[in-house]
Structure 1
């Protein structure tokens, strides 16, 4: 199982994330628990090889997840990249003995294959192109392993102090990368913008992100203009 490199924090009364791990849960049991929970957003679930983690995210966890999600949406909008945000959709495959609900997930390169669909079946549909996992008081190793088995091309793992970009290799394993393959930004740049500052509010922050994207990121995608010599 790959190492996410993100460290967890000790839980306090204000950041505690209730978590229960059930063992020896077969696939039909996992699907039954999903049905019982229904459309409720919590608990979030990660299923891997018979172990089922149920977790209720804390406020700081959700703040960071929303900030990363907003960051991605600003970038794809400014770069005019087709995108379908799939949120915390439950992605699962019985043949891989894994199921996961990301903090944020996105279809980018695979948009055309899921556009107009009302549900995703990974037996016939592609997995998301990008997943975001926030680490606060619980590690993301199990979730990352499920993403690997589902062949999600890229995963961002962030704890608010550091961000790791994992990209899927030809070997089927993840490897850390300095920059994203999904959008033209580096792990250091993402982390710098994801960091919470006491004076920030989301509106002012999003405006600052948009200015930066227009000034620094959009030019990275502009085609090189070749000037032909004057032959007159």
Structure 2
């Protein structure tokens, strides 16, 4: 398939946009790409984007996810991480592969599941992105009904909260209402570049524990 061969030649940092793409076309391309791949997809309104992340993107997404895990751990919250699993619904003609995602309020619904069926399973409570998010990606998250989306970009954290089917930007997170994550997360993302990831995570845990006393 020509479109698939184009996507397979993507270099890190490149993105290809294909349109119009039917749901059947999306499924064929996903099957051709396979599960063991570095590229990620976003699909909404007949537009398919295939992206090849940069190495620094991979590092940032792991760090951001680790910070979220520490937040949840310190707050004694239960969660299930689903990573960059493909979230898609045929009846909504939308699909997305987040950098990472977490089931928190609905964690019990996905315990032990490696594959999701969003016609039955709820969408993740929180999704994470660590680079420029296109309109296609935002459209996909909105259509799939992901309640909260964090976007870390350019040393800033943007929180998008779903309200009546549309994202609005918020200075607070419904998931961790008592933590000023918009200020704190960028600080420790930057700190990791200065002292290394392990020390930054250790300092973050100490800080969050002190905040939660």
Matched, 1:180 2:173: yes
SS state at 2:64 partner:
helix
Equivalent residues of 1:64, 1:160 under 8 A apart:
no
Number of the residue aligned with 1:194: 189
How many Å separate the matches in 2 of 1:115 and 1:149?
24
Number of the residue aligned with 1:167: 161
After superposition, what is the alpha-carbon deviation per residue over 1:94-123, rounded to whole angstroms, capped at 9, x for unaligned? 122110000110000001111222321000
Measured on the aligned residues, the alpha-carbon RMSD in Å equals 1.7
How many Å separate the matches in 2 of 1:112 and 1:178?
28
Match of 2:144 among 128, 144, 150: 150
- Superposition TM-score, scaled by structure 2 size: 0.88
Q: Which has the higher helix share?
A: 2
Question: Which sections of structure 2, spanning at least 5 residues, go unmatched?
Answer: 1-10
After superposition, what is the alpha-carbon deviation per residue over 1:151-175, rounded to whole angstroms, capped at 9, x for unaligned? 1110001113211101111x22111
Question: Which sections of structure 1, spanning at least 5 residues, go unmatched?
Answer: 1-14, 220-232
After superposition, what is the alpha-carbon deviation per residue over 1:8-41, rounded to whole angstroms, capped at 9, x for unaligned? xxxxxxx950211111110001011111122213
Alpha-carbon distance, 1:140 to partner: 3.2
Matched, 1:203 2:202: no
Greater RCO structure (CA 8 Å; 6+ sep): 1
- Superposition TM-score, scaled by structure 1 size: 0.81
How many Å separate the matches in 2 of 1:199 and 1:113?
39
Number of the residue aligned with 2:3: none
